[in-house]
Chains A and B, each alone.
Chain A
Amino acid sequence: MGRRSGARAALDAGGVAIVKKVKVDGSKCQGHNRCHQLASELFDIDDYGYSHQKNDGVVPPELEEKALLAVENCPERAITLTDD
């Protein structure tokens, strides 16, 4: 995925948009389904219930709050939210 244009993304010092990304650590996920419940736009669940980030993990600015909720509610501490 490239940089999004026109979104209200934060800019770094050089004026480049900062893209936030979520990532599910597959070795930690145990399929609690909490992230999908809170932010189905950002996570896909496989047939066994394990989660994977959608769309290469890119978090549009309007979903940042939901991404943070997913991080904070994961009992396995399997999700990270980072600046790309």
Chain B
Amino acid sequence: MANEPVKSWETDYDIFSKEYIKDPFPIWDDLREKCPVAHTERWGGSWMPTRYEDLFNIAKDIQHFSSRDVLVAPGGPPPDEDMEPDEDFPEELRNYDVGAPPITSDPPVHTWARKLLLPPFSAKSIEMWEPETRALCASLVDGFIENGRADAAVDYAQQIPPRVIASMLGIPTEDADTFTGWVRNFLELGLTNTDLQGEAAREIFPYLWDRIQEHKEHPKDDLIGYLLNSEVDGEPVPDTHVLGTSFLILLAGIDTTWSSIGSALWHLAQHPDDRARLVAEPELITVAVEELLRAYSPVTMARYVAEDVQYDGCKMSEGDRVLMNFPAANRDPNVFEDPDKVIIDRKKNPHIAFGVGIHRCAGSNLARMEMQVSIEEWLKRIPDFRLENPEVVTWAGGQVRGPRSMPVVWPS
């Protein structure tokens, strides 16, 4: 089913098709005009709005559009018949279905789960992590600058978020490559391959469970420590909740931001004027990051229709899924002037790359900081660079879009 050519983007779209992954922009433009809420039977079936206003409205309507399932092709881990279960991992959790609150929850659980998570991710709290992130980026550049070439996705973008998030959580940064592998298997390849997703889940949850138990024995001042020390209604946060939230932080903090950093460098590699401007006017970086987030928004979440609803002439039934195509919304000409053009100092830019409404990405301040610092440190040392061969750049797509291999060269 997956590999059959798309018959019609209006009634048979496939977000995992090569065409969509490589260049979804003309498809969205077409749909916005002709069929602003498209539908497909593929991957379990879903609806896909592409207009800003529709995404805005649906994100706000949490009564009809629940977050209990945020992946569009969710298989969930199959029973681990062949796998030796981790002995330390509680039996009652071996369905690997603890969720990832608050992203997978609705109020009332969402309300306290989010409140718990917001302070350590506020802009002020995130400032603390900037020096470490900067040092990491500088050391990565040190590793390849003499070569005159690097894979900006593999050697740079991909290396940053897993280390920063591991450091914040309080789990070994040496395991960063393992985390990256898990995230790819769970979210990137796992969406269309439930075996791979299940395998990843069966490794991630016991791993995090062990780290949580270690934190209980030897309390530490990090995110896991913070979650364990927190109380909800006078009671400690349950371990299973700490597990689900740690899982969310690890997963959501990795391939999303790495995709954004990669896309930003992909753009800059091909736009010498924008590079030159950021070098000459470094204070533009904050608005530039917002513009790059708008133009290359990585994340398409999903919602679960909680009760039958008619939206824009579409009869959506309980259990249907809706793809929250925030990236398409951010290219809507009704909201953004010249939406396909990256205007590095764009003034009016109410993009919803981090979503909108109560599920606004809790890690948005962290993602911004990582993008800003990684672009600054790159341009400081490598102000002039280009794609070695645009044809060999590979992209991941589906629910998270970004370059996965991107060789770039510079004068050494």
Could you show 17 A-B contacts with beta carbons less than 8 Å apart? Answer: A30-B357, A31-B122, A32-B360, A37-B286, A45-B123, A49-B121, A49-B122, A49-B123, A69-B348, A72-B350, A74-B350, A75-B350, A75-B351, A75-B352, A75-B354, A75-B360, A76-B357
A73–B115 Cα distance when bound, in Å, is: 24
Find out whether the CB atom of B115 lies under 8 angstroms from the CB atom of A48. yes
Question: Could you tell me if A33 and B347 are in contact, using CB atoms closer than 8 angstroms?
Answer: no
For residue B349, CB closer than 8 A to chain A, the reply is yes
The yes or no answer to A36 lying at the interface (CB within 8 A) is: yes
Contact with B along A18-33 (1 / 0, CB 8 A): 0000000000001111
Complex Cα–Cα for A37 and B358 (A)? 20
Q: How many A-B residue pairs have CB under 8 A?
A: 53
With both beta carbons as reference points, the residue of chain B lying nearest to A49 in the complex is identified as B122
Asked whether A49 lies within 8 Å of B118 as measured between CB atoms, the reply is yes
Assess whether A47 is interfacial by the CB under 8 Å rule.
yes
Is B40 part of the binding interface, using a Cβ–Cβ cutoff of 8 Å? no
Q: Are B124 and A45 in contact (CB under 8 A)?
A: yes
> For the complex, what is the distance from the CA of A72 to the CA of B350, rounded to whole Å?
6
Partner of A32, one of B118, B119, B348, B364: B364
Total interface residues on B, using CB and 8 Å? 22
The answer, yes or no, to whether B365 is at the interface (CB within 8 Å) is yes
How many Å lie between the Cα of A72 and that of B360 in the bound state? 18
Chain B residues contacting A76 (CB-CB under 8 Å) are: 356-357
Interface size grouping (class) on chain A: 10 to 19
Which B residue's beta carbon lies closest to that of A30? Answer: B360
- Residues from chain A with a CB closer than 8 A to the CB of B119 are 47-48
A49 contacts B365, C-beta separation under 8 Å: yes
With a cutoff of 8 Å between Cβ atoms, the chain B residues found around residue A36 in the complex are: 123
Separation in Å of the A33 CB from the closest CB of chain B?
5
Q: Would B118 and A30 count as touching, CB distance under 8 A?
A: no
A31–B359 Cα distance when bound, in Å, is: 10
Judge whether A33 and B123 touch: CB under 8 Å.
yes
Taking the nearest CB of chain A, how far is it from the CB of B215, in angstroms?
A: 23
Cα–Cα, bound, A74→B290 (Å):
12
| Chain A positions 24 through 56: 1 when the CB is less than 8 Å from some CB of chain B, otherwise 0 | 000000111110110000000101110000000
Instruction: Return the CB mask of B357-371 against A: 1 if under 8 Å, else 0.
Output: 110100011000000
Taking a contact as CB atoms under 8 Å apart, the answer to whether A48 and B118 are in contact is yes
Which residues on the B side are within 8 Å of A32 (C-beta)? 354, 360, 364
Q: Report yes or no: B124 in contact with A73, Cβ–Cβ below 8 A.
A: no
Do the beta carbons of B348 and A31 come within 8 Å of each other?
no
Q: Are A31 and B118 in contact (CB under 8 A)?
A: yes
| Closest B residue to A74 using CB positions | B350
Mark B117-146 against chain A: 1 for CB-CB distance below 8 A, else 0: 011011110000000000000000000000
Determine the distance from Cα of A76 to Cα of B355 in the docked complex, in whole angstroms. Answer: 10
Give B361's nearest chain A residue, CB to CB: A32
Q: Which residues of B contact A77 (CB under 8 A)?
A: 350
Which 3 pairs, one residue from A and one from B, show the smallest C-beta to C-beta distance?
A: A30-B360, A48-B118, A72-B348
Residues of A within 8 A of B115 (CB): 48
Would you give the shortest CB distance from A25 to chain B, in whole angstroms? 13
Cross-chain contact B348 with A33 (CB below 8 angstroms): no
Residue of B nearest to A50 (CB): B118
Contact B354 A72 (CB under 8 A): no
* Cα(A30)–Cα(B356), bound, Å: 8
Do the beta carbons of B123 and A73 come within 8 Å of each other? no
Task: Give Cα distance in the complex from A33 to B367, angstroms.
Answer: 13
B55 vs chain A, min Cβ distance (A): 11
Task: Identify which of B122, B124, B347, B356 contacts A75 (C-beta below 8 A).
Answer: B356
User: Do A73 and B121 touch across chains, with their CB atoms under 8 A apart?
Assistant: no
CB distance from A5 to the nearest CB of B (A): 31
- Complex Cα distance, B368 from A33, in Å, reads 11
| Contact yes or no, B350 A73, CB < 8 A | yes
Query: Bound complex: CA of A75 vs CA of B184, how far in Å?
Result: 30
A47 to B352, CA, bound (A): 22
**Minimum CB–CB distance for B293 against chain A, Å:** 11
